[in-house]
Structure 1
Amino acid sequence: MDKRYFVYLMVLLLLLIGAIIGAANIGPVHLSWSSLFNFDPEDIDHRIWMNIRLPRILLAVIIGVALSISGTVMQGLFRNPLADPGLLGISSGAGFAVAVALVIPMALPHFLTLWLPVIAAFVGSLLVTILIFQLSNLTKGNLSSLLLIGIAINALGGAAVGILSWVSNDQQLRQLSLWGMGSLGQTEWPLIFITLILIIPTVIIIQFYAQRLNLLQLGEEDAHYLGLNVHKTQKQLLILSALLVGTAVSVSGIIGFLGLVIPNAMRLIFGNNHKILLPASALSGALLLLVADTLARIMVQPAEMPVGLLTSLLGGPWFFWLILKEQWRRRA
């Protein structure tokens, strides 16, 4: 690894650690670090640490990693800077599946009830990912066609969730509303453990695919001549990416544009080598979502803004810039 890139990664890591320390101490109640190690169950500060602040920080970091890595993988697979789980409709597919799980009653054992949103989101995101990949092959990866496909899937997913919201009760409607805007406020330790169990191994496995992603940038034919089993690699990466998106959506709701902004920003600094791009995207995605969630907690105290609104405010202008950049490149 280039020494300069190693320094950049260390800077990102230090910024993330600083953001974690800041997020842990920012809020309506100022906490000291000593309260974290005060194991008195009656101590209010310690309970806030363990039941509110710490799980929320961990969730922001891990969801930021998952969404940014999935966006990096999608852009590598489609060889397209505008490929993003949200824009292509993958998040909508996962969202519709979770909405079905929330609204339609199912008689399941307790342990399956805990896992049901994750399973539903994974299945929904995987089905939409496969559909998009097949349509991408038919359209030969045309940028306009991919965006139109994503718009259509998002419209269908939004309409389906709207119908489910219409037939839901008040409690289900509130869950769907908060979840549709993206929020980390409903964090609990069981969800943290499920998220860690699914996302951490998936991210590690994807890192081992970095060289194969580099080969795919040369085109399917050239990658095949260099000894890569292209279709098998594509399917495996699709499943891994769908697992990341599905898990993230099931826990935090739809947080848009993170998988679009982060990989493109990191490419400007680190280039297209996925061996470096993947960890850089993971660190910066975790940093961005943690900072956004911290701002969402304190901007409108004592209320709280859904973090998905903040990421959309950031991602919208970036998306316009990417489209204009692509048009300028074509004209040139």
Structure 2
Amino acid sequence: MINAVSNAYRLNNKKRVMLITLGLILLFLSFVSDIYTGPGGLSWSQIFSAVFEPETSAGNIRLIVWDIRLPIAITAILIGAMLAAAGAQMQTLLNNPLADPFTLGISSAASFGAALPLVFNVNILGISDGVDSSVSAFVFAILTTALLYVFTRIKESSAEVMVLVGIALLFAFNALLSIVQYAATDAQLSQIVFWMMGSLGRSSWYSVSVCGAVLLPIMLLFMVRAWPMTSLRMGEEKARSLGVNVKRLRIEILVGVSLLTATAVSFVGTVGFVGLVGPHIARMLVGEDQRFFLPLSIIAGALLMSLTSVVSKAATPGVIYPIGMITSLIGIPFFISLILKTQRRSWS
């Protein structure tokens, strides 16, 4: 009996590893397609030459591939991975499949922070407006995280209370953003709207390096906390009985999620539903075991953002659509299906 259970467990884990491997293959194919897609009409041979033999490639082709398409393709993968990792941990931490990085109001805070330099010339570091908007977005996102952290220290807050506080902050920053929009000129308003729609147009090797530097250590932290996070799915009391410091774990995950979300929003603006859809796909395929759930969530989120980048450039030749619009169109059906599943579970 024990051997049968052990064999079934190993077989199930092999299937999970195969699914993760398949996800990586699909992600690579999407990455290659993202490099190929875009204005300029480059052929596969031109792209191959620019990537692997840049010294023999024409200057304009090398510029398009290395300074535009490669940074966009890599940034899309990193941003998708960051948002999906944050969403997976948020859903586990709050025990709520409808939670994502924007539940706590961090995205709204970042959007408000990005709008301030555009409208009121609030130049935090004395640098260009475009860069200062990203810095301001990051600062406001981190300040919101600090506010949530202080609240959890003052009150022994449950997951439900944290969500309610996040919703309150969400509406507060949306109201402040509306005030900023009301005071903006037409040109400034168009910049704010463009930011709120989400765009990979600001991608560069700088964004690649920063996103990578933030993602890797936080992803390692999340993997180290895989067992405590898996035990948390059985309830906080059960996790405590297994020796998990739930309060400390909640703070660690909250800080990690906030750093991921703040960094992502500061570079590409508001992109919704990636943190919801990626973990939802992973949960359907491999279950709740964080050793497999988290990596597949990251891969699914990265794949979703990469495919979104391809669609945004390929849907209409010569036009690049904001990625936030496309992810919302993809995410809405998933969101509705999750609501229906949650309601059916509560009725049964």
Write the distance in 1 (CA, Å) between the matches of 2:237 and 2:17.
32
2:50 corresponds to 1:35: yes
2:180 corresponds to 1:180: no
The one-letter code sitting in structure 2 at the alignment partner of 1:108 is: L
Write the distance in 1 (CA, Å) between the matches of 2:266 and 2:250.
24
The two structures have a TM-score, normalised by structure 2, of 0.85
Deviation at 1:184, TM superposition (A): 0.6
Q: Give deviations 1:81-121, integer Å, cap 9, x for gaps.
A: 11112344332122223333544423525599597236414
Structure 1 range deviating more: 305-314 or 219-228: 219-228
What is the aligned partner in structure 1 of residue 102 from structure 2? 86
What is the aligned partner in structure 2 of residue 205 from structure 1? 221
C-alpha change, 1:113 and 1:96, in structure 2 (3 Å) is closer
The two structures have a TM-score, normalised by structure 1, of 0.89
Write the distance in 1 (CA, Å) between the matches of 2:101 and 2:149.
12
Match of 1:5 among 6, 16, 21: 16
* Contact 2:93/2:250 (<8 A) preserved: yes
* Contact 2:35/2:73 (<8 A) preserved: yes
C-alpha change, 1:141 and 1:10, in structure 2 (3 Å) is same
Write the distance in 1 (CA, Å) between the matches of 2:336 and 2:171.
20
The one-letter code sitting in structure 2 at the alignment partner of 1:35 is: A
Write the distance in 1 (CA, Å) between the matches of 2:166 and 2:124.
34
C-alpha change, 1:139 and 1:194, in structure 2 (3 Å) is closer
* Contact 1:63/1:248 (<8 A) preserved: yes
C-alpha change, 1:117 and 1:294, in structure 2 (3 Å) is farther
2:55 corresponds to 1:44: no
What is the aligned partner in structure 2 of residue 117 from structure 1? 136
User: Alignment partner of 1:82: what SS?
Assistant: coil
C-alpha change, 1:107 and 1:93, in structure 2 (3 Å) is closer
The one-letter code sitting in structure 2 at the alignment partner of 1:266 is: A
Map residues 1-332 of structure 1 onto 2, 5 A cutoff: 2-28=13-39, 29-31=41-43, 32=46, 33-36=48-51, 37-39=53-55, 43-104=59-120, 105-106=122-123, 108=125, 110=127, 113=132, 116-117=135-136, 119-127=138-146, 129-130=148-149, 141=160, 146=163, 152-169=168-185, 172-332=188-348
* Contact 1:271/1:277 (<8 A) preserved: yes
Structure 1 range deviating more: 301-310 or 26-35: 26-35
Flag structure 2 segments of 5+ consecutive residues without an equivalent.
1-9
The one-letter code sitting in structure 2 at the alignment partner of 1:246 is: A
What is the aligned partner in structure 1 of residue 5 from structure 2? none
User: Alignment partner of 2:319: what SS?
Assistant: coil
Structure 1 range deviating more: 212-221 or 15-24: 212-221
C-alpha change, 1:10 and 1:259, in structure 2 (3 Å) is same
User: Alignment partner of 1:141: what SS?
Assistant: helix
Structure 1 range deviating more: 198-207 or 94-103: 94-103
> How many pairs align?
329
Write the distance in 2 (CA, Å) between the matches of 1:107 and 1:261.
35
* Contact 2:117/2:133 (<8 A) preserved: no
The one-letter code sitting in structure 2 at the alignment partner of 1:13 is: L
Deviation at 1:134, TM superposition (A): 8.6
Structure 1 runs of 4+ aligned residues shifted over 6 Å read: 131-137
* Contact 2:87/2:275 (<8 A) preserved: yes
Structure 1 range deviating more: 192-201 or 213-222: 192-201
Write the distance in 2 (CA, Å) between the matches of 1:141 and 1:129.
13
Q: Give deviations 1:24-74, integer Å, cap 9, x for gaps.
A: 112222243112222368611111001110000010000000000000000
Structure 1 range deviating more: 254-263 or 89-98: 89-98
Counting aligned pairs with the same residue, the percent is: 31
Write the distance in 2 (CA, Å) between the matches of 1:136 and 1:280.
34
Structure 1 range deviating more: 308-317 or 30-39: 30-39
